[in-house]
Chains A and B, each alone.
Chain A
Amino acid sequence: MKHQKIAFLAMAALVVVMPLFVYPVFLMKVMCFALFACAFNLLVGFGGLLSFGHAMFLGTAGYAAAHSAKVWGFPPEFAILFGTACAFVLGIVTGLLAIRRQGIYFAMITLALAQMMFFFYLQTPFTGGEDGIQAVPRGRLFGFIDLANIWAMYATVAVIFLGGFLLIYRVVHSPFGQVLKAIRENEPRALSLGYDTTRYKLLAYVLSGTLAGLAGATKSLVFQLASLTDVHWTMSGEVVLMTLLGGMGTIFGPVVGALIIITMQNYLAQLGAWVTVVQGAIFVLCVLTFRRGIVGELANLLKKPL
């Protein structure tokens, strides 16, 4: 546990120092996606449930936050809360459906449900279709912090990211997290020990979706935009990739994965469809050669969980 605390402090220090060297908007993007990937990892890495539709949480919360801030004039803290709450509700509804099947079916069902949400957002008028919701006002946090100031926005995102990360860390190390891992390893045995595995899985799914929503709502304020990209299935694939590359079931893996994938997208952006090819190649390479991911292999080398 001690080295995990050291690693966390190092990460927090980097969050503080990095904007002196790197463009802060880029770092905010990385933090939003890192939180998204950590939330996803909570479900796949610790619950063993591979969702292929996590973009629906990111996108739904993004649209809800953007709409409430722009049209209803919500202050940023309520816009983010409202977006997160919408992801929570969506998590309950889709979770009750998806949890009814396991394994491969679970992945297919979440993918299909997310595609349904995609078509819903494509057709419903408030999302602005292909244009998305643009020029979302960042507003004043708690009435007096003007988020149009990039450093205020950066600090807010940093607090949300580190807070979300700590929450996930806490959940993983709680008795609930232990039961979740037990279910991942051997569901019939956990069931025979008297754990209502369906309820645990549903709870993990809803929590994961809600935190993904928090990331999405924050992201829509940072970029002042909520668009169809965030609900498309490619986004669901990207978060899987970040988590796989960084290390499924590790605490810090998804953060590393998100950092690498976002950096790569930034550098390869002008190459168009090659990004897709490279991402596919990383998938194949990870599965065939290092299934534990970067942080997972590192932890294995150090013989300490990270």
Chain B
Amino acid sequence: MPEIFGIPTAALFGQLLIGLINGSFYALLSLGLAVIFGLPNIINFTHGAQYMLGAFCAYFLLQKWGLGYWWALLIAPIAVAISGVVIERTMLKPLYKLDHLYGLLLTFGLALIIQGLFRNEFGSSGQPYPIPPELTGSRNLGFMFLPIYRAWVIVASIAVCFATWFVIEKTRLGGYLRAATENPELVQAFGINVPRMITLTYGFGVGLAGLAGVMAGPIYQVSPQMGSDLIIVVFAVVVIGGMGSIMGSIVTGFGLGVIEGLTKVFYPEASNTVIFIIMAIVLLIKPAGLFGTQK
């Protein structure tokens, strides 16, 4: 069996693949957080719960109406986004002028409510979600077997990430958005409806979390807790990357996923903590984050 550094290549590439998969979710979720960060004084603690909502939405669509994965991929993010818009309109809006800590406490409370309700209904065990028939099976690449669904997740999340990056950095709409976070009064004076824009931004960021949830269903199972631990890691990813740049959160997300995967191969004891350790090191060297600018 071929080896690299005394590790069988199959194990190495296997963990690298898992790392890329985890990285896809880190990237999608931290991207959503970065988009929402444009909102005044809001960090979205509910993000993990909304990721879980996306997965459950897909699960319900399949169980209740027999609508499969591809429909879920379309409907679930929109449903989660709509629920996000309702939350923003009714609860987050009054908080913009207050200290940042209230936005954090409110979204944390919402996360507890959502997760608690689902735990009441489904307990702690996960519900299986089947891989869509078009994407089952795997391909032999010579050095490893690549399950097609996992390849799809990586490709799809890269595509979504770059599409988001393109919209925000390269289009007129994205330009408005960036201007509105920089100086809302001025942009408002130009006749752009900034409050509506903020609402839609929150909806979009949350929708990304819902999309990630649908894609995660067939890999991790659908369970009420799937988001709560993940979101803490994603926060660390956000601190490492710095929230300033969209591209930064994409690169950091994938990069850290891969590093975590490699740690599982070379020093498994640290695989749970490696991202937090990297965060500590980054804070010592470059407190603003790798791609961030200190305000």
Are A286 and B105 in contact, CB atoms less than 8 angstroms apart?
yes
A283 contacts which of B95, B105, B119 (Cβ < 8 Å)?
B105
Whether A277 contacts B113 in the complex (CB less than 8 A), given A104-B100, A287-B95, A287-B106, comes out as yes
Closest residue of A by beta carbon distance from B238:
A108
Q: When the two chains form their complex, are residues A101 and B287 in contact, meaning their CB atoms are under 8 A apart?
A: yes
Known: A104-B100, A233-B232. A273 touches B106 (CB 8 A): no
Decide if A112 touches B95 in the complex (CB within 8 Å): no
Q: Which residue of A lies closest to B287 (CB)?
A: A100
In contact, B269 and A113 (Cβ under 8 angstroms): no
Interface residue B43 (Cβ < 8 Å from any Cβ of A): yes
Q: Could you say which of A116-124, A171-179, A187-195 contacts chain B?
A: A116-124
Which of B94, B120, B233 is in CB contact (< 8 Å) with A274? Answer: B120
Closest chain A residue, CB of each to CB of B277: A116
Partner of B112, one of A44, A97, A283, A287: A283
Name the residue of chain B whose CB is nearest to the CB of A240.
Answer: B105
Closest B-chain residue to A107, C-beta based? B104
Q: Are A274 and B116 in contact (CB under 8 A)?
A: yes
Q: Which of A122, A283, A291 contacts B108 (CB 8 A)?
A: A283
Q: In the complex, what distance in Å separates the CA atom of A173 from the CA atom of B193?
A: 47
B272 and A277: CB pair below 8 A? no
Interface assignment of A143: CB less than 8 Å from any CB of chain B: no
Residues from chain B with Cβ under 8 Å of A105 in the complex: 239
CB pair B109 A50 closer than 8 Å = no
CB of B91 closer than 8 Å to a CB of A: yes
Give residues of chain B (203-232) contacting chain A, Cβ–Cβ below 8 Å: 228-229, 232
B195 to chain A, nearest CB (A): 18
Do B91 and A288 touch (CB < 8 A)?
yes
Size bracket, chain B contacts: 35 or more
* A108–B43 touching, CB < 8 Å: yes
Cα distance, A45 to B102, chains bound together (Å): 13
A280 to chain B, nearest CB (A): 3
**A237 in contact with B108 (CB, 8 Å):** yes
A112 contacts across to B, CB distance below 8 A: 232-233, 235-236, 239, 276, 279
A109 to B272, Cβ gap below 8 A?
Answer: no
In the complex, which residue of chain B has the Cβ closest to the Cβ of A104?
Answer: B43
Find residues 101-124 in chain B having any chain A CB closer than 8 Å to their own CB. 101-102, 104-106, 108-117, 119-120
Q: Do the beta carbons of B106 and A97 come within 8 Å of each other?
A: no
Any A CB within 8 A of the CB of B251: no
CA distance A272 to B116 in the complex (A): 9
Contacts A119-B272, A280-B111 given; does A50 touch B91 at CB 8 Å: no
Tell me the smallest distance from the CB of A120 to a CB of chain B, in Å: 7
In the bound complex, CA of A274 to CA of B232 (Å): 23
List the B residue with the shortest CB-CB distance to A53: B232
* B279–A280 touching, CB < 8 Å: no
CB <8 Å contact, B91 and A284: yes
The answer, yes or no, to whether A279 is at the interface (CB within 8 Å) is yes
Q: Is B273 on the interface with A (CB-CB < 8 A)?
A: yes
* Interface check A111, CB cutoff 8 A: yes
Q: Which B residues lie within 8 Å of A50 (CB)?
A: 101, 104
Report A116-139 CB contacts with B as 1/0, cut-off 8 Å. Answer: 100110110000000000000000
Asked whether, in the complex, the Cβ of B120 is within 8 Å of the Cβ of A273, the reply is yes
Chain B positions within 8 Å of A, measured between CB atoms, are 43, 91, 94-95, 98-102, 104-106, 108-117, 119-120, 228-229, 232-233, 235-236, 238-239, 269, 272-273, 276-277, 279-280, 283-284, 287
Known contacts A115-B276, A280-B110; 11 additional CB pairs below 8 A are A52-B104, A103-B100, A111-B235, A113-B280, A116-B273, A120-B273, A240-B108, A244-B105, A273-B120, A280-B109, A284-B109
A→B interface (CB under 8 Å):
44, 48, 50, 52, 97-98, 100-101, 103-105, 107-109, 111-113, 115-116, 119-120, 122-123, 233, 237, 240, 244, 272-277, 279-284, 286-288, 291
The 10 closest A-B pairs by CB, nearest first: A283-B109, A280-B112, A276-B116, A280-B113, A116-B276, A277-B116, A273-B119, A112-B236, A119-B272, A108-B235
